[in-house]
Amino acid sequence: TRSTRPQRLLNAVRKHATRGDPQSVISAIDHFCRHSEWAMNIGDEKGSILDSVVSELNPEKVLELGTYCGYSTVRIARLLPPGARLITLEFNADYAAIARQVIAWAGLEDRVQLVEGASEDWIPRMKEHFGIETFDFVFLDHWKDRYLPDTKLMEDCGLLRKGTVLLADNVICPGVPDYLQYVRNSLSYKSCYFKSHLEYTKAEDGLEKSVFLG
Ligand SMILES: O=C(NCCc1nnc(-c2ccc3[nH]cnc3c2)[nH]1)c1cc(-c2ccc(F)cc2)cc(O)c1O
Ligand SMILES: [Mg+2]
């Protein structure tokens, strides 16, 4: 049977990246996506913005919605201190299987917990299942029609605290109009837009950073 794009992406990581070296994993995936096959990783341009937000925040408890092949998981986890924890939710079992191997190749499995399933099922279980009180940082990169309902669900489950930062990918392309309208007009958020480009293309896209005010 033909290999899948995520499998070919993992092969490129194994071929070109050094085990235990997260930067080489990031570079191998970016090279594969620029020169072989486009894939929906945040990419190097938006990835640098993600890096600066994470580095400035120095979060202990991180939630990522939408793992895909683990590219942004590796970008975030490589910047976290060893005691910090990143929980990443992936709905698609095939993506999750690839992501586990990418994260392991980068040598970051000790600070990453990949959970398979739907965000709406797992968000209400974060406290009792993972012993999480609140998250310091949430990266939204899953199905675009889930950004808003899951943000409201995190609010309702008490998973956000004064100062929690939400960073949302793809707010222009594919676009999340309902989410943008909410975080930009709600008195509970201070929101700002980082203009960039859709990964590996010239199309406009951007990240929206929203601080929860409690
Ligand atoms: O669909 C995207 N990303 C979502 C994948 C995912 N990986 N995991 C999930 C999940 C995880 C837990 C969930 N719980 C409930 N639904 C869930 C869905 N979703 C996406 C699409 C594009 C894109 C742009 C232009 C195009 F022409 C075609 C495509 C670009 C991007 O940067 C993306 O992130
Ligand atoms: Mg994305």
Residue 2: the pLDDT is: 86
Residue 27, CA distances (Å) to 34, 44, 64 in order:
10, 8, 21
Q: Write out pLDDT tens, residues 38-54.
A: 999 999 999 999 999 99
Structure tokens at 32: 């594969």
**Is 141 tagged catalytic?**
yes
Q: What is the pTM of this model?
A: 0.98
Sort 83 into a burial class: Cβ within 10 Å, 0-12 / 13-18 / 19+.
exposed
Residue 136: the pLDDT is: 98
Look at residues 171, 183, 191 and name the one whose alpha carbon lies nearest to residue 46.
171
Whole-angstrom distance, CA of residue 54 vs CA of residue 48: 10
Residue 42: the pLDDT is: 98
Which residue in 30, 44, 90, 169 is the catalytic one?
169
Ligand nearest to the CA of 40: 1
CA of 89 to the centre of ligand 1 (A): 12
Whole-angstrom distance, CA of residue 140 vs CA of residue 74: 15
User: Which residue's alpha carbon is at the smallest distance from atom 26 of ligand 1?
Assistant: 174
User: Which residue's alpha carbon is at the smallest distance from atom 20 of ligand 1?
Assistant: 40
Whole-angstrom distance, CA of residue 179 vs CA of residue 139: 14
Look at residues 11, 133, 136, 130 and name the one whose alpha carbon lies nearest to residue 79.
136
CB of 208 within 6 A of ligand 1: the answer is no
Continuous H helices in the chain: 5-16, 22-35, 43-57, 71-77, 93-105, 119-122, 126-130, 147-156, 177-185
ipTM for the whole complex: 0.97
Ligand nearest to the CA of 175: 1
Residue 82: the pLDDT is: 81
Q: Write out pLDDT tens, residues 185-204.
A: 999 999 999 999 999 999 99
Whole-angstrom distance, CA of residue 131 vs CA of residue 13: 33
Low-confidence residues of the chain: pLDDT under 50: none
CB of 90 within 6 A of ligand 1: the answer is yes
CB of 46 within 6 A of ligand 1: the answer is no
Best mutation site among 91, 153, 169 for ligand 1 pocket (most ligand atoms within 8 Å of CB): 91
